[in-house]
Chains A and B, each alone.
Chain A
Amino acid sequence: MPVKDMTERQPTPAVAELTRLIVQEWQHPTERPDQPIVLLDRSAPGGARHVFVVWDRWENLEQLQRSEAIMDAAEAVLGKAESLKVTVAMGLTKEEAKRLNIRFD
């Protein structure tokens, strides 16, 4: 049996697919209602960034997994150095965003 180095734990294919779709929408925004809505808040102190992704496909995904998927997308779009300025990565369904009074329309 071959001996191999263990690789870092990877997101599940389903989560990786969500990340891919966020990256796609972030880089090439569309008006399609089923696509993720990426909201960037650059007004945080110290040059930090907050990223909110409003998307009903988050349903049934735990908040931490949503956050990891958003960070993967941020790294792909912004690059490593810029993505490290993100201090909040929050995934919300439309209903959750409304409850938190986060405007996305």
Chain B
Amino acid sequence: MPLRPRLEANPETVQDFELASEQKYWEALELMTAGHRAGGIYLIGYAVEMWLKAACFRLDGAGPGHAVRPYLAPARRLGQALFPAIPDESYHSVNFWGELLRHKRRVTLGAFDHALEAALSLRFTRLHTIWWIEMRYRPDQALPAEVNTAFEDATWFRDSYVSFWR
């Protein structure tokens, strides 16, 4: 069976997101170190998007084996109601998911401590100025400093992931 039907045979789970984000992170690093700046940024942004989404769904009570898609539409509705000025960019905006994570954390486990919350906001806001889903249609114009920033921010999200929802 070809790859696509093999992958589509089972819906993506939270656990899939956690594993895929880890894989994409390391694959992105391979691209970045080989000089493929835009490709590396593109892939590492996906990893961050998945960490943000998975953390939101964990805060919703999702376990590792829960399918992800049934959480998406309710999350979008909530975000649109809470911060209508931030577009979800077809479910891909790291600004959107970052803001939603802050909200969900506040109403479930209590707000993040100030340092973590400040770092979270800084990182997703900054990454949003470098990464967005539509960048795939553009030729590479990324600067080395932008690669470094994307990598540093993604590494911070990777290191902080569990603390987002525990």
Q: How far is the CA of A88 from the CA of B59 in the complex (A)?
A: 12
- B118 at interface, CB cutoff 8 A: no
Q: Is B81 within 8 A of A84, CB to CB?
A: yes
Q: Is A64 within 8 A of B72, CB to CB?
A: yes
Q: Is A88 within 8 A of B74, CB to CB?
A: yes
Q: Inside 8 A of B60's CB, which chain A residues have their CB?
A: 44, 48, 87-88
- Known contacts A46-B108, A64-B69, A87-B71; decide if A71 and B61 are in contact (CB<8 Å): no
Q: Is A68 within 8 A of B73, CB to CB?
A: yes
Q: Is B70 within 8 A of A90, CB to CB?
A: yes
Q: Inside 8 A of A87's CB, which chain B residues have their CB?
A: 60-61, 71, 74-75
- Known contacts A63-B11, A83-B77, A84-B78; decide if A89 and B107 are in contact (CB<8 Å): no
Q: Is B69 within 8 A of A67, CB to CB?
A: yes
Q: Is A67 within 8 A of B108, CB to CB?
A: no
Q: In the assembled complex, how far is the CB of residue A79 from the closest CB belonging to chain B, in whole angstroms?
A: 12
- B31 at interface, CB cutoff 8 A: no
Residue of A nearest to B66 (CB): A88
User: A: which residues have CB within 8 A of B?
Assistant: 44-46, 48, 63-64, 67-68, 70-71, 75, 80, 83-84, 86-91
What are 13 sample pairs from A and B whose C-beta atoms fall under 8 A apart? A44-B60, A45-B61, A45-B108, A46-B107, A48-B61, A63-B67, A64-B72, A67-B70, A75-B77, A80-B81, A88-B71, A90-B67, A91-B70
